[in-house]
A and B are shown apart, each in its own frame.
Chain A
Amino acid sequence: MTVFTDVVCPFCGCLCDDLEVTVEDGHVKGVKNACGISRSKFLNHEKNRLEAPTVDGVEVPLEKAVDAAADILSTSMRPLVYGLSSTECVAIAKAVELAELAGGVVDNTSSVCHGPTILALQQVGESKTTLGEVKNRADLVIFWGSNPSQAHLRHIIRYSGMAKGRFIPNGRKDRYIVAVDIRKTGTTRLADEYVKVEPNRDFELLQALRAAVRGHELLAESVAGVPREKVTELAERMKTAKFGIVFFGLGLTQSEGRHMNIDAAVGLVAELNNHTKFLLTPMRGHYNVGGANTVTTWQTGYPYAVDFSRGYPRYNPGEYTSIDMLARGEADSALVIASDPVSTFPAGVVRNLAKIPVVTLDHKVTPTTMLSKVVIPVATAGVEAEGTAYRMDGVPLRLSKLVEPREGVHSDAEVLEMMIKRMGGRAY
């Protein structure tokens, strides 16, 4: 029996790194300190696994599957490489290299989650911090359109709510927590204040707060369903906090306004820095979606939606983003790595994905593997394969290999490398 300590959890953007995993006879037997989802990940990683590589549903040796995948990608005009948020960074780098080699498009799951956050950042910037300063200093924490009680289960305990730090010796008692949402959630329940905003009207509320922070008088009786007094009170609270932070989620990026909502939030926070310290940080979902953006950016200059058809990287969200590529019927093949677009994309574009040859690298059976022409089982990163992941705040951590994958099963990076070799790529 081996007990691994300080294990990094490969589930959400929190990348909690204090897990204790017990391994016996090459199998995970127990997990300590983990949240429910993390526990499920470690204890169930052997369930519902893909049994063997398949082409058209028929089991084949790995080499045959790699050949078939390479053929599909090198003979298509507009291959789309997608996914990458639930694997480690070498695999992400290989996926970018493969897309370049194939003259295709490489995109990652941020295009359906925090893509608008990135668009706003490119317009107006962003003022952020690693989570430790929140733990050490934040006396005002605002969750806006985010619900860690369901999506980032230990965020509030480890970083933003209960966490005790240098200037927050009493943890929760030293913090005022505000939750802005369109509905009550577990997070609004534990907040000191719940601000109920009408659906699709966050932009208005953010701008009103910005005006109030500047000292303008609000004329409307209520903004986005929030009474004027509450808006000015919140603005005052923000200005007088010693250290405030907004953790925002898909409530802002996936509702009307999208990047403009984030633009307004960034503007509000920048404004507040004329009065006190204020920051904001997106609640990134998949554990290494940050890494997918980070690696793609250092290799190509751009974080997602990168097209190599001209031999150099081009970037245009709305055009080279997966949803749009598929909606236009433009992608004529797809390589999916560590993602399940059939479960995460609107049905209208999934129908188009079903029409083209899809190559999928995954460890488990998913709706996407069900409709893929080529399926290659891989090791689970962070359990059976090591590598780097970037936390939601950009902190890089090392994922561990705790157990061996089944014989003949390789990591995402290794399989991608085989495909690159088969496609005539060279070592750089």
Chain B
Amino acid sequence: MSKLKVTLVSGRTAQQGIGLEEGKTSDNYVKSVNHVQLCPEDAAKMKLKEGDAVSVETRHGSVVVNWRPSKELEGGMVFFPYGPWANQVYGYETEGTGTPIFKGIEATVAPTKGKVKSIEELVKSLGGDRK
């Protein structure tokens, strides 16, 4: 099975909160947000092993991240902690409200040989190379 169709949900996690207070460039922060969580059954369907990377894709973009199993999620639902990696796959349409949609969007997840970008690489890829 190559690609899994899923519903993508973003949100806060305590780890992300703890990490960001250490610093957005800290390992703790990066680890807390450069992954998606999916249920073990879905991971098995894609034959994902610990340490594998996955590619998450929506109509707005794609990103390579790590994955973690989560027993709380049901099949077909993927949780992506708020952060710069998640933002690669969300759109900016606000439909006149000012607020983009960060929850409940269609996506695909697939195993990938691609590499997870570092925070610096990610900022650079967005055009932010002013360091």
Chain A interface (Cβ < 8 Å from any Cβ of B): 11-12, 35-37, 39-41, 44-45, 47-48, 56-57, 111-113, 115-116, 119, 147, 149-151, 153, 182-185, 199-200, 250-251, 253-256, 258-259, 285, 304-305, 317-318, 321-324, 326-327, 340, 342-351, 354-355, 364-367, 370-373
**Given the complex, which residues of A lie within 8 Å of B17, measured CB to CB?**
11-12, 36-37, 40, 150-151
B119 near A367: Cβ-Cβ < 8 Å: yes
Select which of A199, A200, A323, A364 is within 8 A of B98 by beta carbon: A323
A115 proximity list for chain B (CB < 8 A): 97-99
20 cross-chain CB contacts under 8 A: A37-B18, A40-B19, A48-B23, A48-B26, A112-B98, A150-B12, A184-B72, A199-B77, A254-B99, A317-B98, A323-B92, A323-B94, A343-B84, A345-B87, A345-B100, A346-B60, A346-B87, A350-B126, A350-B128, A364-B24
Residues of B within 8 A of A199 (CB): 7, 9, 77, 103-104
Cβ contact within 8 Å between B11 and A250: yes
Of residues 96 through 131 on chain B, the ones whose CB sits less than 8 Å from some CB of chain A are 96-104, 119-120, 122-123, 126-131
Binding site for A on B (CB under 8 A): 7, 9-14, 17-19, 21-26, 60-61, 72-74, 77, 79, 82-84, 87-88, 90-92, 94-104, 119-120, 122-123, 126-131
Contact A370 B128 (CB under 8 A): yes
Contact B98 A344 (CB under 8 A): no
* Contact B72–A317 (Cβ < 8 Å): no
A373 closest partner in B (C-beta): B130
User: Given A185-B72, A323-B92: A150 and B11 within 8 A (CB)?
Assistant: yes
Known: A37-B17, A348-B60. A112 touches B25 (CB 8 A): no
3 A-B pairs closest in CB distance:
A371-B128, A48-B23, A321-B98
| Residues of chain B with a CB closer than 8 A to A318's CB | 94-98
Chain B residues near A254: list those with CB within 8 A.
Answer: 10, 99-103
How long is the Cα–Cα vector from A48 to B126 in the complex, in angstroms? 22
Q: List chain B residues, Cβ under 8 A from A149.
A: 14
Name the one of A35, A37, A48, A346 contacting B24, with C-beta atoms under 8 angstroms: A48
CA distance A190 to B13 in the complex (A): 17
Which chain A positions have C-beta within 8 A of B128? 342, 350, 354, 367, 370-371
Closest residue of A by beta carbon distance from B127: A354
Q: A182-B7, A371-B128 are in contact. List 20 more A-B contacts (CB 8 A).
A: A35-B14, A37-B17, A40-B22, A44-B21, A48-B23, A151-B12, A151-B14, A185-B72, A254-B102, A259-B97, A304-B98, A318-B96, A318-B97, A323-B92, A345-B100, A351-B126, A364-B23, A365-B24, A370-B120, A370-B128
Q: Which residues of A contact B7 (CB under 8 A)?
A: 182, 199
In the complex, the chain B residue whose C-beta lies closest to that of A189 is B72
Count of inter-chain pairs, beta carbons less than 8 A: 195
Chain A residues in 8 Å Cβ range of B82: 343-344
Which residues of chain B are within 8 angstroms of A36 by Cβ–Cβ distance? Answer: 14, 17-18
B83 and A343 form a contact (CB under 8 A): yes
In the assembled complex, how far is the CB of residue B58 from the closest CB belonging to chain A, in whole angstroms? Answer: 10
- In Å, the complex CA distance between A119 and B96 comes to 11
The distance in angstroms between the C-alpha atoms of A48 and B29, with both chains bound, is 12
Quick check: B21 and A147 within 8 Å, CB to CB?
no
- Interfacial chain A residues near B84, Cβ < 8 Å: 342-343, 367
Contacts of A116 in B (CB 8 A): 97, 99
Judging by beta carbons under 8 Å apart, are A342 and B126 in contact?
A: yes
A147-B11, A317-B98, A324-B98 known; A348+B92 contact, CB < 8 A: yes
- Nearest CB in chain B to that of A260: its residue: B97
Q: Given A116-B97, A318-B96, A318-B97, A48–B22 Cβ distance below 8 Å?
A: yes
- By a CB distance below 8 angstroms, the chain A residues around B12 are 147, 150-151, 285
Cα distance A118–B80 in the bound complex, in angstroms = 26
Residues of chain A within 8 A (CB-CB) of B19 are 40
Which residues of chain B are within 8 angstroms of A56 by Cβ–Cβ distance? 130
Evaluate contact between A183 and B79: CB separation under 8 angstroms: yes
Taking the nearest CB of chain A, how far is it from the CB of B69, in angstroms?
14
Residues of chain B within 8 A of A11, CB atoms compared: 17, 21
